Amino acid sequence: MHNTDPTRWQESHDFDTGNRSGERGTRRVVLLTATMMVAEIVAGWLTNSMALLADGWHMGTHVAALSITAFAYWYARRHAVDPRFAFGTWKVGVLAGFTSAVILGVVALYMAYESALRVITPLPIRYDQAIVVAVIGLAVNLLSAWLLRGHEHDPDQLGHRHDHGHHTGDGYHDLNLRAAYLHVLADALTSVFAIVALAGGKLFGWDWLDPAMGIVGAAVITHWAWGLLRLTSRVLLDREMDDPVVQEVRDAIEGDGEAVVVDLHVWRVGPGKYACIVGLVTAHPEPPDHYKERLRVHEELVHITVEVHHCPGEHPHAGELPVATHADAI
């Protein structure tokens, strides 16, 4: 498929292409999470369980984060054809994912702080009631994760790429939904830790295990938040020049030894889609379409600009950039 195919460009231009089901799943999860949040906070307060309270407040922040996810879907879809967005509204979801990662990190810090306080000043816990609520919370979390997991592309491989040189499975398909998935997964993890802590306290009298599990959960969630922050910030800041597609562009242009790439900019404009500007020098210039044809084998390149500069002599050098003789874009 050539880069000039309007359907192919539209797929990279529209944020909500192919993921309406993810948006619907997110709305369902918001309702489930909000309901369970209230139940766990009330139960944790009544039973004096720090693990249960931490899980409840943690779930409350996820309600806010998941609401951001749902809003981003709505906003991006509403403005998908707005000409003010040069490359569509895909990055609205990336921005929402970044915001959710920040919230996730703040929650982890709060969990660690509250758990440390309970280590210093422990309170009596009503284990039986707390365990029942924690088990129900875990069931809700697993259901929420299942609702989102079915709609997220490649959820387990941050940075993973398919073969054949095409970067369409690199973990960037829907960072908005990935953030929502990590939030409910973090909820499930804290529910598991709460159950373990409460069971240990009830059976063996290990009261210290309840706040300890809160600290362990905070550490794991911090790790997840940091990974999501790195992934989303890379997209938002257009930090793509170490991506394998960059070298593939250079190889495609310089493969015959006739041209040298002297200026190259690559940035992400959609899920697994890139735009690029290529400036090259050559002693034997061809029309820009000649060089763009070489790049069309890479289907992830959906918008290409090529500038061809004539450099007399047999061996052009990257440091010598004459006045352009041709410039074209698709």
Q: What is the DSSP string of 185-220?
A: HHHHHHHHHHHHHHHHHHHH--TTHHHHHHHHHHHH
CATH for 244-329, among 3.30.1050, 3.30.70, 3.30.1120, 2.40.128? 3.30.70
Which segment of 14-18, 32-36, 268-272, 286-290 scores lowest on mean pLDDT?
A: 14-18
For residue 310, give the 3-state DSSP assignment: strand
pTM of the model: 0.71
The Cα 184–Cα 100 span in angstroms is 12
Per-residue confidence (pLDDT) for residue 232, from 0 to 100: 92
pLDDT exceeds 50 at position 190: yes
Record the tokens describing residue 321, joined without a space: 């950039």
Q: Which amino acid is at 227?
A: G
Q: For the chain, what percent of residues have pLDDT higher than 90?
A: 15
Contacts of 218 (CB under 8 A, 6+ apart): 108, 109, 111, 112, 115
For residue 258, give the 3-state DSSP assignment: coil
Residue with tokens 């810090």, as numbered in its chain? 109
Is-contact 49 137, C-beta < 8 A?
A: no
Most confident of the ranges 16-20, 57-61, 151-155: 57-61
Whole-number Cα distances in Å, 124 to 134, 209, 280 = 17, 13, 72
Q: What is the largest CA-CA distance in the chain?
A: 85
For residue 173, give the 3-state DSSP assignment: coil
Q: What mean pLDDT do residues 250-271 have? A: 90
Is-contact 40 130, C-beta < 8 A?
A: no
Per-residue confidence (pLDDT) for residue 3, from 0 to 100: 40
Record the tokens describing residue 282, joined without a space: 């050559």
Q: Which of 27, 55, 1 is nearest to 218 (CA)?
A: 55
pLDDT band at 315; cut points 50, 70, 90 = low
pLDDT exceeds 90 at position 277: yes
The Cα 122–Cα 217 span in angstroms is 18
Residue with tokens 């190259």, as numbered in its chain? 264
Domain ranges of the chain: 6-236, 244-329
Q: What mean pLDDT do residues 293-313 have? A: 86
pLDDT exceeds 80 at position 239: yes
The Cα 215–Cα 83 span in angstroms is 47
Query: Is the domain defined by 6-236 classed in CATH 1.20.1510.10?
Result: yes
Contacts of 27 (CB under 8 A, 6+ apart): 70
Q: What are 160's strand-pairing partners?
A: none
The Cα 115–Cα 47 span in angstroms is 16
